[in-house]
């Protein structure tokens, strides 16, 4: 008797595989959403940091005061200006989930911060509750707040 070898999956095997996949997806999705939110916050932090560094380097290069200002919090937008010209406008085009708050920060011809007496703090807050702060020192260096 010539019996053909059975190929494929049984219905039970298929149902068990789908159930295991559904359980794994249920566990993985919240972690993935958290990772996406933290990556979005890190991206916005780096974007604002590059704007601050650009303003400082332009002040040194031009030998004149250059001001970094966040003029719109959500969706955030910042501007870099010297006395006469707007040098750079950058905005967050992805979503309205991140707010950036600060006052105007002016760098002089030596790259030093001139207009904040108690220290300049920039807060980048995400709608999921995560936030990050950066501090501009009197020497013009930008770093994370402790």
- Domain limits of the chain? 12-144
CA 29/CA 21 separation, integer angstroms: 12
- Of 15, 116, 111, 1, the C-alpha closest to 66 is 111
Which CATH class, in words, describes the domain spanning 12-144? alpha beta
pLDDT in the model for residue 109? 92
pLDDT in the model for residue 39? 84
Residues across the chain: 146
CA 116/CA 103 separation, integer angstroms: 9
Residues of the chain with pLDDT under 70: 1-6, 73, 93-98, 102, 117-119, 146
With residue 45 as reference, give the H or E element that holds it. Answer: helix 11-62
pLDDT in the model for residue 65? 93
């Amino acid at each position: 008797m010539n019996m053909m070898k059975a190929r494929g999956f049984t219905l039970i095997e298929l149902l068990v595989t789908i159930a295991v996949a559904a359980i794994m997806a249920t566990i993985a999705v919240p972690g993935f959403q958290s990772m996406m939110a933290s990556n979005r916050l890190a991206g916005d932090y780096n974007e604002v940091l590059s704007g601050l560094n650009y303003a400082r380097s332009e002040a040194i290069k031009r030998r004149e005061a250059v001001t970094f200002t966040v003029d719109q919090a959500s969706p955030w937008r910042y501007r870099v200006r010297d006395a006469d010209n707007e040098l750079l406008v950058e905005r967050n085009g992805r979503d309205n989930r991140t707010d950036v708050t600060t006052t105007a920060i002016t760098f002089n011809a030596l790259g030093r911060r001139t207009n904040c007496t108690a220290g300049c703090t920039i807060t980048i807050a995400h709608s999921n509750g995560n936030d990050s702060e950066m501090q501009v020192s009197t020497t013009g260096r930008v770093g994370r707040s402790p």
